[in-house]
Structure 1
């Protein structure tokens, strides 16, 4: 196995780990990436080139920052910076009262939006799981 093959094999493992972390099925990853499940299987199996478009699409699907796949293929690591949370935003001590008020209002708004986004992600995941269960039940009925 060549070093490139080894890197692609490790990438496949990293993609699987991320898929599990996001609680997605492979067909959901393919759908998010806008590629067929067969194309995704070829990418995961190192059967053919990994184009820039495919990398970009997979990074979007797996919620990785742009360039993550190239970085991983070169270094063997995924180094994603920690997400800044609204609570980590510090208001400078030398800020005027008006600046403090404005920054606090922005911080409060970001915290509320962060909570709302978390709820939306949970709802999307719930709906996707329900859809997959419905599709499985439909497939079972059609084959019976």
Structure 2
């Protein structure tokens, strides 16, 4: 990570931290206390331009009950993971994959299946194709298919 964080990434982090703080019903000073950092350090992490030191990132994650690495995840455009929750693909990535499957021509589906087979196995590629076809059939019938995208 470079020495500065771009404005959009910093805004994402500030928004995610604020959302989590409100979920936990904490004031900013309580967040700083829970993390063992000063209020000024916390404010600099939320609003500053400089890179956030590892110790500060860990303190924020501890204070907000986030899994290790969540601050970097948010800065990279992913979601923070609250403690105790398994990491899952971002919802927008799942929806994007679903839309690509639904919009694909039969030839594109065959190419997707080939990629799955290269990366995983023939059996998993066959399973992908079976699920993709079923998802497309249900979508054509107007059924909910969101659970098949994962």
Normalised by the length of structure 1, the TM-score is 0.51
| Matching residue of 1:73 | 75
Does the residue aligned with 1:24 lie in a helix, a strand or coil? coil
| Pair 78,47 (structure 1): closer, same or farther in 2 beyond 3 Å | same
Note if contact 1:30-1:61 (Cα within 8 Å) is conserved in structure 2.
Answer: yes
Q: 2:14 aligns with which of 12, 15, 26?
A: 12
Q: Tell me, which stretches of 5 or more residues in structure 2 are unaligned?
A: 87-150
Note if contact 1:5-1:46 (Cα within 8 Å) is conserved in structure 2.
Answer: no
Note if contact 2:5-2:49 (Cα within 8 Å) is conserved in structure 1.
Answer: no
CA RMSD of aligned residues (A): 2.4
What's the CA shift string for 1:47-91, capped at 9, x where partnerless? 43201111111000000010111111113323558649xxxxxxx
The count of residues paired between Structure 1 and Structure 2 equals: 83
Partner Cα separation in structure 1 for residue 22 and residue 52 of structure 2: 22
What's the CA shift string for 1:98-141, capped at 9, x where partnerless? xxxxxxxxxxxxxxxxxxxxxxxxxxxxxxxxxxxxxxxxxxxx
| Pair 36,75 (structure 1): closer, same or farther in 2 beyond 3 Å | same
Q: 1:39 aligns with which of 17, 38, 41?
A: 41
| Matching residue of 2:59 | 57
Q: Tell me, which stretches of 5 or more residues in structure 1 are unaligned?
A: 85-144
Normalised by the length of structure 2, the TM-score is 0.49
Q: 1:92-111 alignment to 2 at 5 Å?
A: none
Note if contact 1:11-1:72 (Cα within 8 Å) is conserved in structure 2.
Answer: yes
Note if contact 2:5-2:50 (Cα within 8 Å) is conserved in structure 1.
Answer: no
| Matching residue of 1:28 | 30
